[in-house]
Structure 1
């Protein structure tokens, strides 16, 4: 029996994976390829760094407490930008700034649920969402996904109980990379609206969606704010990972509850981060469009190199944003395979077991590849190494 909130959940997966590197020497001809984390390691673009230096020197408010729900100018910029992007009408009072998107999720759950409630999560799920629900005493109800890793609305309907407070979707998806179709997202919105629960939509990777234009029509729905809780991160868009800045867009009433959480946890979002995100929104549109094209090129490189793995029995289950989700052909389960890859192939990737319920056998068959920090050449090298692996095949793959 656990004696604390944190003991109800597992250790941080990325930190666990990093420990697999301890004591391992990588030969010069086979350096480590790290595809374990989706956070870009490149610095923010130089114009933004120069702007940040100017903010640090000349903006007194950057060093002081600010409003709990965030910098008014940034909230207004998001409201205007989102209204234009989604063809909707969003007010600054419906926007809050958080210290990263993880905090946006935690604050949202704290605003709508209590211990003993439950939230539906499509599996594979983003592990930090599961961790927060565990610590909050809110049960994560696994929502199975199909062969294309898309959740089913009818299956979700059957799992809703009187203690269900929300359905949570991540699109483009982490860990699978899958972009949820607009009609599917809308169907989940209508299901949530029908049952008087919230639909949480985490669009951390929205800026790298393969389609142009709005990825869904949720903000155009009548009384969208009564159902939708929209989450966003600036970490990926402007490489502000270490500065921790994200956003929530929902009703002012829910944000009133969110404010209590934020005031208690960190009083206000990081002021430097907010001024930096605001500058990025106002000045880096062209640069961000170029970043999107680069990520789409990497996605294309994954698909172009996939035939060499398909010949060996691998299957690409999902690909998009920063991620590829692969089914491997080996007898060894993915948690052991991932550790073995460090020593045998100089690859650090995360196993499907980090994204699935303990009792789901499919977890042992999958690996997540995060390609935020490897270009097309690096992807080709990664796939060449994976194709060269010689492990015993799983029974269903023998003879391929």
Structure 2
């Protein structure tokens, strides 16, 4: 008897659905059914895209030049603007030819791993981590090696931990500061130590800087290539306009790296997706080169929400929420809520706890299992002030 052919490749069949998008989709479906759900699931600013950016897109849509194919690696003007931003915010001089414009930051992450990894290469991934990283690593044939840092370490790994995880198969370190999901920001000394370690051992760094403009309390997000310029030859910087400019739906990201790696990634993109929408690229150009006033307005609003959610969550017995210094997430340790009965249910994992919270409080959160070990929840505070407070108050009532 002939064995039926497998319908999906093993790599595609092994991909897990994005946990954050899954939670967000479930919350939206419940809202559509009439449930008063407050969702902390998606990392998406609730603000509209700045008006001058929208107007630039409208003008671009009317220009026939933008109705045609453009260079796969990105519009020259936008690549130049990204190079200028990289110097301004990452302290690193690069040529526009070292920039590839991608369909959102996710494509930049995927292409970075695809450009660097061969089958069996190991990638050190500090946990908690963004849920897409391990899937992109696996798709490129790599092997994820998790290194966990809990709330007691402010969710930041040490050089000693990285060295303990390094083997002869180690090819890449993933670095994300400010962090999704924790909001942790590494200090300049910590960044310097990690970049120096990578340089000494020939380990590539893929540094996700998508939240670099969202820091608080005077904290600076220091780039690895600014801290240790010599490491630039083995570093890919990933970034985009989504978070800073409330442009998640416009799908414009980029990767910046050494010329040979960028050339290889550009060849991949020429076959994978070709150019990003020209209208979106023109909008991104307006975002990077235009007025930055609204960016600061949004950052200050996030800062105020950060104070509110940390204060209110920490009033719940059994919840420990470190104060994040960047991004727009909190990552409370909720192990103190596990193993206790709440509304007739005794959750033993943060996955079960998240289900309980949605069922009994109409609040959507993402469980820690999506980002590493159980015992944690991720809540985005990039939602309006009123729903943010309402959701936490529901949690306070549930766990009182």
Taking structure 2 as the reference length, the TM-score comes to 0.88
After superposition, the Cα gap between the structure-2 partners of 1:308 and 1:221, relative to the gap in structure 1 and judged at 3 Å, is closer
Greater mean alpha carbon deviation, residues 179-188 or residues 219-228: 219-228
Which residue does the alignment assign to 2:344? none
Paired with 2:122 and 2:358, the residues of 1 have a C-alpha distance of 37
Which residue does the alignment assign to 1:397? none
The Cα of 1:81 is off from its aligned counterpart by 2.6
Tell me if 1:381 matches 2:395: no
Q: Is the 8 A contact 2:322 2:332 kept in 1?
A: yes
Structure 1 spans left out of the alignment, 5+ residues? 392-400
The Cα of 1:54 is off from its aligned counterpart by 1.1
Tell me if 1:355 matches 2:364: no
SS at 2:384's partner residue? coil
After superposition, the Cα gap between the structure-2 partners of 1:84 and 1:125, relative to the gap in structure 1 and judged at 3 Å, is closer
After superposition, the Cα gap between the structure-2 partners of 1:315 and 1:259, relative to the gap in structure 1 and judged at 3 Å, is same
Q: 1:198 aligns with which of 186, 190, 204?
A: 204
Tell me if 1:69 matches 2:77: no
Paired with 1:220 and 1:366, the residues of 2 have a C-alpha distance of 31
The Cα of 1:27 is off from its aligned counterpart by 11
Paired with 2:255 and 2:365, the residues of 1 have a C-alpha distance of 30
Tell me if 1:179 matches 2:188: no
After superposition, the Cα gap between the structure-2 partners of 1:270 and 1:186, relative to the gap in structure 1 and judged at 3 Å, is farther
Which residue does the alignment assign to 1:57? 62
The Cα of 1:3 is off from its aligned counterpart by 4.2
Paired with 1:21 and 1:103, the residues of 2 have a C-alpha distance of 25
Q: 1:344 aligns with which of 353, 360, 374?
A: 360
Paired with 1:212 and 1:152, the residues of 2 have a C-alpha distance of 19
Greater mean alpha carbon deviation, residues 111-120 or residues 35-44: 35-44
SS at 1:5's partner residue? helix
Tell me if 1:236 matches 2:240: no
Which residue does the alignment assign to 1:394? none
| Counterpart mapping for 1:296-375 below 5 A | 296-309=303-316, 312-317=317-322, 319=324, 320-328=326-334, 329-330=336-337, 331=339, 332=347, 333-356=349-372, 360=373, 363=374, 365-375=375-385
Q: 2:225 aligns with which of 203, 214, 218?
A: 218
Tell me if 1:118 matches 2:125: no
Q: 1:251 aligns with which of 252, 258, 262?
A: 258
Paired with 2:284 and 2:31, the residues of 1 have a C-alpha distance of 39
Q: Is the 8 A contact 1:240 1:273 kept in 2?
A: no
Paired with 1:26 and 1:340, the residues of 2 have a C-alpha distance of 20
Structure 2 spans left out of the alignment, 5+ residues? 1-5, 340-346
Which residue does the alignment assign to 1:166? 172
The Cα of 1:203 is off from its aligned counterpart by 1.1
